[in-house]
Amino acid sequence: MGSHVIYEWIYVGAVVSLLIWVGAEAWYGEKLLHEVPKDHITIKVTGQQWFWTFEHPDGKREVGTLHLQAGKVYKFEITGKDVIHAFNIPHFAIMIDAVPGRVNTIWVKIPEDAVGEYLIQCREYCGLLHYNMRANLIVEA
Amino acid sequence: MVIEIAKPRPLWQILFSTHHTDVALLYLITSIVFFMLGGALALTIRTELLTPGTTMIGDADLFNRIFTVHGTTMLFLWILPFISGVGNYLIPILVKYKDMAYPRLNAVAYWMAVPGAALIWLGWSDTSWMAYPPYSTMRAAGPAADMWIFGLKILGLSSILGAINFIVTILKCKHPDLPMMKTSLLVWAILVTSMMTLAALPTFTAALIMLYTDRLGVSGFFDPARGGDPIAYQHLFWFTFHPEVYIFLLPAVGMAYELIPKFSRKPIFSYGSGVIAFLVLSIIGFASWAHHMLATGLTFTEKTVFMVGTLAAVPMSAMHVFNWMATMWGGRIKFAAPMKFVIGGIMLFFTSGAGGVVNTTLPLDFITHDTYWVVGHFHMMLMGTVSFIFMGFLYYMFPLITGRMYSERLANVHFWFAFIGTAVVFTAMHIVGLYGMPRRIWDYVPDPTIIALNQIASIGAYLIGIGMIAFLIVLIRDSIKGKPADMRDPFGIGEIYYDYRRREPHH
């Protein structure tokens, strides 16, 4: 038995190298996502039981519907009013918690050809109507 | 025999016994009862999600309570008591001591689990098993949430008492002629998890008190309006419950080490690497808790640290898997029910392990976090690996406990339905998560793909349900009138079975 243990260490070495590669790629990808492009438009997002409120830079507020323009970069500043929610646009893989007392940010570049309607939903359990805490994202040309 | 039906002992003698096999029996029966009850809740959830809109459960409130009780039950009333049951039964036998170190404390630890379970099942809380504030402190309905807090508090204390007992039994009561490096790896697994329990649980115990005083309104630990921070709870919670994942998993790993060499009729490939993997994981397991919180707004540095901590734990699990496969390699494997469940468990362990790497990979976490992907991932581990190995081990212990043999045919039915069902339901959950379906929802978007995947998942769940019916029949029927087992070698794999004569006398 004993002499074969070397195979186990070779295997462990292979697993470790694979994980280092995965970790390094993930770190690099996350670093790219971390830098918000300069020319962004900031949207303030507030989650509360059980609807979303959006505030545009010009002070215009929307409840339950968010109008964005294709081809632009948006930064969302997200907070929760009562309990923890999570702001999620599945189509654009946007997801971060809306925590009372904190402001979390995440950004997205809406592609030019993404005109249409998309789902915004809550992804952190927030009580009775969590399942129905949805909003509409309308991307305009 | 402990519950030899031919020569029954009065029930009170078992209930008030402090003998390790009797306490173990109480733990095992309790855990199996709650496994079935929790499973019934799971089938209710799957039936509700069969179609969008109301299918079976009239309102979201009841649904939220059902998944809360399902999660709490499966973790704290199935997995933990089962580990205590197996540990109580076998640790004294494996370290060659007459009983646990503190028999009375042992019985106390069991009897504390009973009111804990009662509080959870009578309260029927809707906080989810994580009970994140501010929902759990400000919005969740009492007295259900308060009962949940007290129930978990009592179960936590019971776990700590049990852990102390195991550590002392293994380290102080082990037979002097039996060196630690010659004991079964199951002994190592129980030792390591007991130590992890002692290190991890106090944090959650503190968090529960803070949760309760916040609910009473006398403090604002987690209330931003009073200077608190809801994220602080998540740190305290996951500091306990990420190591707890390994507390659930490692005993199953130890059981697999107990079964695989016996049923492969070969010695363990490398005992030493098993011990090393246990010890290293027991430390590294504490370095990854915040990977459950990557979406709460951690800084880039924090996220990187916890990703590295999580990835660092993977090679230990890979070492165990290698060890098992290398042990089976070239062995004359006897495919009895215990071995089938272990092999099935290892196969599903690959899926959950690979999924875990995806979850911690930073940019991908935002696709999977809080979706059904995560539900599929941890169920693949807790049902597919942990519960599979537990069920296999229960079959292995069946002759020891009852003196009878289970029906291999029915156990086979149980295995195949459970295995195929588990693979189907949790794979479908992974995929529906990638389509963005959040977890803990009573109703979902009526999109054709999401509907189809939910229906596939529900069918898988029903297959598991059929398997579990077979399991119950085996357990009840064969412990009453199964064929008497050959106690020296019940599985026909050599005279390596536990020494059943050591169980007398009871006190």
Residue B483 domain boundaries: 11-503
CB within 8 Å of B207: residues ≥ 6 apart = B233, B236, B237, B240
Chain B residue closest to A14 (CA)? B315
Alpha helices (runs of H) in B52-124, residue ranges in sequence order: 60-72, 80-94, 103-123
Task: Report how far Cα B432 is from the mean position of its chain's Cα atoms.
Answer: 24
SS3 of residue B330 by DSSP: coil
Confidence of residue B501 (pLDDT cuts 50, 70, 90): low
Which residues in chain A touch residue B267, judged by CB atoms under 8 angstroms apart?
A: 1
What pLDDT, in 10s, does the model give residues B96-147?
998 999 999 999 999 999 999 999 999 999 999 999 999 999 989 889 999 9
Position B262 pLDDT exceeds 50:
yes
Residue B4, in any domain of the structure = no
Phi then psi dihedrals of residue B355, to 5 deg: -60, -35
Which residues in chain B touch residue A88, judged by CB atoms under 8 angstroms apart?
A: 370, 436, 438
Say what the alpha-carbon torsion angle B197, B199, B205, B210 is, to the nearest 10 degrees: -150
User: What pLDDT is recorded for position A5?
Assistant: 76
Nearest to B366 among A93, A99, A102 (CB): A93
What pLDDT, in 10s, does the model give residues B380-418?
999 999 999 999 999 999 998 888 999 999 999 999 999
| Cα–Cα distance, B128 to B140 (Å, whole number) | 10
Tokens for A54? 């959006």
User: Does this model's pTM top 0.80?
Assistant: yes
Q: What is the mean pLDDT of chain B?
A: 93
Chain B residue closest to A122 (CA)? B438
Domain count, chain B: 1
Residue B1, in any domain of the structure = no
Interface test with A, best of B369, B373, B449 (most A CBs within 10 A): B369
Residue B174, in any domain of the structure = yes
Say what the alpha-carbon torsion angle B50, B56, B62, B63 is, to the nearest 10 degrees: 0
| Cα–Cα distance, B146 to B125 (Å, whole number) | 8
Residue B480 · residue B5 · CB < 8 Å: yes
Residue B3, in any domain of the structure = no
Which residues in chain A touch residue B132, judged by CB atoms under 8 angstroms apart?
A: 83-84, 124-125
Topology at the third CATH level for domain A41-140: Immunoglobulin-like (2.60.40)
Contact B369 A93 (CB under 8 A): no
Chain B residue closest to A98 (CA)? B296
Contact B443 A132 (CB under 8 A): yes
Residue B159, in any domain of the structure = yes
Distance from CA of A135 to the nearest CA of B (A): 12
**CATH code for position B158:** 1.20.210.10
Residue B427, in any domain of the structure = yes
User: What pLDDT is recorded for position A7?
Assistant: 86
Residue B239, in any domain of the structure = yes
Position A60 pLDDT exceeds 50:
yes
Residue B87, in any domain of the structure = yes
Interface test with A, best of B441, B442, B444 (most A CBs within 10 A): B441
Contact B132 A131 (CB under 8 A): no
What pLDDT, in 10s, does the model give residues B34-51?
999 999 999 999 999 999
